[in-house]
Amino acid sequence: MSSKVIHAIYTDDDLLMQAVKQTREARYRIEEVYTPFPVHGLDKAMGLPHTRLAVTAFLYGLVGLSVSIAMMNFIMIDDWPQNIGGKPSFSFLENLPSFVPIMFELTVFFAAHLMVITFYLRSKIWPFKEAENPDPRTTDDHFLMEVDVANHNVEEMADFFANTGAVEIKLINK
Mean pLDDT, residues 59-76 taken together:
94
> Angle formed by the axes of helices 53-72 and 92-122, to 10°?
140
Interval 129-142 mean pLDDT: 88
CA 170 to chain centre: 28
* Single pTM value for the model: 0.71
> How buried is 149 (Cβ within 10 angstroms: 0-12 exposed, 13-18 middle, 19+ buried)?
middle
What is the distance between the alpha carbons of residues 41 and 26, in angstroms, rounded to a whole number? 19
Q: For residue 2, is pLDDT > 70?
A: no
**pLDDT (tens digit per residue) in 49-67:** 988 889 999 999 999 999 9
Q: What does the pLDDT look like over 80-123, one tens digit per residue?
A: 877 776 666 677 777 788 889 999 999 999 999 999 999 898 88
pLDDT at 87: 67
- pLDDT for 28 equals 93
Give me the chain's average pLDDT, please. 89
φ, ψ (nearest 5 deg) of residue 31: -75, -50
